[in-house]
Chain A
Amino acid sequence: MSRFLAYHVVVHALEGRSGWTPSKRFAAAVSHAIDGHLPYERYNAAGRARAAEGATEAQVERAVREFLASDLSPGVGVIGGLSSPTRIVEGFNEYNASSGVAVRTNVSMPATGGRAPLVVARREMRVEAPDPALCRIGTLALFDALISNAEGNAKRGELPKLKTMSGLARELGVAGSASAEAALVFESEGAMRVEELARRLGCHPRSLARKLRSEGLTAEAIRSAARIARASDRLGSEESLTVIAMEEGFADLAHMTRSFKLSSGMQPSLLRRLVKADASEHSAKPAHPSIHR
C-alpha cells in the first residue's frame, strides 16, 4: 500500500485507459465512494506516459470532467455543490491538506478587479519526484470543474443533492443490473443485512452475491457507499453527527469519521462546516445585494 495518494478521478483521467464499460464504471464509482484514492505512483506515471504520447491539455481536462461526472465520493461532491467560490477554494485546500495526497495543491483566487479571473496555485511536493505538467493540469482541471459549478449552484438556491448510485446507474444505462437494484434499496431504505437485501430483491443471498461479484462489486461495498452518501446528505441539517452516524448504520461516530476520511480524506465535521458556511453566505446574499457591487 502506497503511503502517498492521488484522487481517483484525476488518476483515471490521466491514465485514459480503454475498456471502460458502463458496468465497470459503475463498479469503480461505487468502490471509490468508499476509498477515493489511488497510489501517487499511478498519478505520476500516468502524467508522464500521457505527455509522452502527446496528449494535450484539453484532452486531460475533458477526461477529468467526464470522470468527475460519475464520481460518487461525498467529499468532493459536497465541495462541488457549494455556491460560494470562496468556500469552494477553502474546501479544495482543506481536501488537499487533510487527505494523504502526495502533492498538496493550494489554490487562491486573488481579486483582480474586473480583470481575467486568476487562480494562483502552489504545489507542495511531499514526495521526491518531478511534477509532470499533465498531473498539474489534471488537478487544476478538477478544481476548474468544481469552481465552475459555483454560479449554477448559487442560482439554484438550495444545496444540490449529491449524485446517487441509482441516478448514476440510470445515466450509465445499467439501472437493471443487480448492483444498481441493490444500490437503490440501500439508498432508499438505509443499511440492512445482506439476507434482508436478497429477500427484498427476491433472490437467494448466494445468487445475489454471485451476480454482484460478476459485476465487480459486493453487497457490503454497496452498503458502505450508500451509508456514506446518506450521511453526507444530512450534513446540512441540525442533527448531531453522532445521531446521523447511529441512524445511518455506522457503529459509532468514530467509524463514520474513518469512513469519510477513507472516502475523500475529509472528516464529516469539516464538510459540515463548509456546507453551513456556504448556506449562511448564500442566504445572506439576497438581503445585501449591494455588497457585491
Chain B
Amino acid sequence: MANTKTREAGAVLGAGAPEAMVLALESDVGWTAQARFARSVASAIRGHLPFGRYFEAGRRARRLGAAEGAIERATWDWMETSLHPLHGFLRGLDDPRSVVDRLNAFNVRDLGEAWDGEREKHLVRGGDTGRETGQETGPPRWALTSGSGEFRLYACRVSPDGFDDPEGCQAASLASITFLVEAARRRAAGALEGPKTLSGVARELGVERTAAAEAALVFESEGSMSVEDLAKRLGCGKRSLERELQAVGLTAGALRLSSMIVGATASLHSSESLTEISAKHGFADLAHMTRAFKAACGMAPSALRGRAPSAGGSSLFVAAVPNKIR
C-alpha cells in the first residue's frame, strides 16, 4: 500500500531539483546518521524535491551569506549517500565525457518537462521592460561540454530571462556535476568503485546494525519478499519490525522498492534487456519498472541507458536542438 502511495506522489511531482542539492543548500542541523540513511533510501524512490524549495533554499543561503565552498562541500557530502537513479547510473560510467553527455540530456529534456508546470511561479518579470520572458524555456541549468583535447569541463550557466538565479543554487548544482564527473575520472584512472547499495550506504553512515539496514541487506541479497517473510528472516514479529522502521521514517515497502530500483539501476550497464532486468529485480513487468524510475528521477530506464555513445560526436545536440523554441 505504502508502495502505491509513494509512486503516485512521485508521479505527480515528476522531476524537480535532485534532492542532494536542496538538502545541501538548506544545511539544516540535526541530521542523525539514521535519518540520513532513511533519506538516502527515499532518494531512490523519489529523488527530487520541488523547484520552489530549491530556489527558496538558495535565496535563504544568500541571505545567510553561505560560502560557495561550504555549499560545495555539503553537496558532495549528500551526493556521497545519494541513491538517486541518475546518480547511481552515472556512477557506473567510467568516461567523464559520457557523464557530461548524459547530464546534458537530462538537463535539457527531463528537467525541462518538470519546469514547464512551474516556470510561471519562478519567473520574475522585469516590470517596465515589458520583455517577453522565456528565451530559455528550461529551468536555470548548466550546459556542459568538454574540450576535445585533454578533458576540461566547460559549464555554461543558462538562465531564463528575468530569472533571479541564486548563486547558491548554481554552486550546489555545479558541485553535483563535478562530483559525478570526478567519480568517472577516478574510475577511468582505474579506481574500483562498485555501484552504491543500500547496505553499502548504511555501512558508510555507520548504521549497519539498525533494523532498516538489516532489512535492506536481506532485500538486496535475497530479492523481493513479503513483510512477514522479512520479519521472519530477521527473527522478530511483523509489528515490531514495522514499529522499528517507522521510528526512523521508513517502511518495509519503501526499503523493498528502493533496493529494487538501486539493483535495477546497476544492471542497466549490462547487456540484459530491460524486460529481463525488471523481472530479475522483482518488478511486476517492464511498465512497472518504467513507472518507478520515472517517479524516482523523471527518466525512464531506457532514457537513462540511452543510445550507446557514438564514436565521434555526442548525443548532446540531438537532445538540445528542439529546446521548445518555435
A62 engages B155 (CB within 8 Å): no
Counting CB contacts under 8 A, is A144 at the interface? yes
Inter-chain contact A144/B147, CB cutoff 8 Å: yes
With contact pairs A128-B131, A136-B143, A148-B147 given, residues A117 and B313 touching in the complex (Cβ less than 8 Å): no
Could you say which residues of chain B place their CB within 8 Å of the CB of A291?
A: none
Chain B residues within 8 Å of A59, by CB: 312-313
Q: Is the CB of A28 closer than 8 A to any CB of chain B?
A: no
Contact of B325 among A56, A115, A130 (CB under 8 A): A130
- Cβ–Cβ < 8 Å partners of B96 in chain A: 116
Chain A positions within 8 Å of B27 at CB level? none
Report B131-152 CB contacts with A as 1/0, cut-off 8 Å. 1100110000001010111111
Does A97 sit within 8 A of B, measured CB to CB? no
User: B residues within 8 A CB of A54?
Assistant: 317-318
Nearest-CB distance from B107 to chain A (Å)?
Answer: 11
Q: Which chain A residues (31-69) contact chain B, with CB distance < 8 Å?
A: 51-52, 54-59, 61-62
> What is the size category of the interface that chain B forms with chain A?
35 or more
| In the complex, A118 has a CB within 8 A of chain B | yes
Interface residues of B in 295-320 (CB under 8 A from A): 312-314, 316-318, 320
- Provide the residues of chain A in CB contact with B152, threshold 8 Å: 116-119, 144, 147
For residue A201, CB closer than 8 A to chain B, the reply is: no
Main secondary structure, interface of A, reads: mixed
B156 at the interface (CB under 8 A from A): yes
| Residue of A54, A122, A128, A134 with most partner-chain B CB within 10 A | A122
| CB <8 Å contact, B316 and A133 | yes
In the complex, A133→B319 CA distance in Å? 10
A115-B135 CB under 8 A given contacts A144-B154, A148-B150? no
Q: A58-B312, A62-B148, A144-B149 are in contact. Are A122 and B317 (CB under 8 A)?
A: no
Mark interface residues in A101-122 (1 if CB within 8 Å of B CB, else 0).
Answer: 0000100000010011111111
A57 near B314: Cβ-Cβ < 8 Å: yes
* Set of chain A residues within 8 Å of B149, measured between Cβ atoms: 144, 148
Q: Quick check: is B109 within 8 A (CB to CB) of the other chain?
A: no
Q: How far is the CB of A92 from chain B (nearest CB, A)?
A: 13
Residues of A within 8 A of B6 (CB): none
Contact check: which of A56, A130, A140, A141 meets B135 at CB < 8 Å? Answer: A130
A117→B153 contact, CB < 8 A: yes
Contact (Cβ within 8 A) A58 B136: no
- Tell me whether B145 and A131 are in contact (CB under 8 A): no
Q: Which B residues are CB-close (under 8 A) to A130?
A: 135-136, 323, 325
Tell me if B155 and A58 are in contact (CB < 8 A).
no
Known: A61-B148, A133-B320, A140-B156. A128 touches B135 (CB 8 A): yes
Known: A140-B145, A148-B147. A57 touches B154 (CB 8 A): no
Complexed CA–CA distance, A125 and B134 (Å): 13
Asked whether, in the complex, the Cβ of A56 is within 8 Å of the Cβ of B178, the reply is: no
> Given A57-B313, A125-B135, are A115 and B157 neighbors across the interface (CB < 8 Å)?
no
**How far, in angstroms, from A137 to B143 measured CA to CA in the complex?**
9
A123 interfacial contact with B, CB 8 Å: yes
A129 contacts the other chain (Cβ, under 8 Å)? yes
> Is B313 in contact with A129, judged by CB distance below 8 angstroms?
no
Q: A115-B182, A123-B156 are in contact. Are A137 and B145 (CB under 8 A)?
A: yes
Residues of A within 8 A of B191 (CB): none
CB-based contact B178/A116 at 8 Å? yes
Q: Is B313 touching A58 in the complex (CB atoms < 8 A)?
A: yes
> Are B178 and A112 in contact (CB-based, < 8 A)?
yes
C-alpha gap A140/B155 in the complex (Å): 10
B12 within 8 A of partner (CB): no
A137, B148: Cα distance in complex, Å: 11
- A119–B154 CB distance below 8 A: yes
Given A56-B316, A144-B149, 17 additional A-B pairs, CB 8 A? A54-B318, A56-B314, A59-B313, A61-B148, A112-B178, A115-B185, A119-B152, A121-B156, A122-B156, A128-B132, A129-B135, A131-B158, A133-B320, A136-B143, A136-B145, A140-B145, A148-B149
B interface with A by C-beta (< 8 Å): 96, 131-132, 135-136, 143, 145, 147-158, 161, 174, 178, 181-182, 185, 312-314, 316-318, 320-321, 323, 325
* Pairs of residues from A and B, 6 with the lowest C-beta to C-beta distance, nearest first: A56-B313, A121-B156, A133-B320, A144-B147, A117-B152, A130-B325
A-B contact pairs, 24 of them (CB 8 A): A51-B320, A57-B317, A58-B148, A58-B314, A59-B312, A62-B148, A115-B182, A116-B153, A116-B181, A116-B182, A118-B153, A118-B178, A120-B155, A120-B157, A121-B154, A123-B158, A130-B136, A130-B325, A131-B136, A131-B158, A133-B317, A136-B156, A144-B154, A148-B150
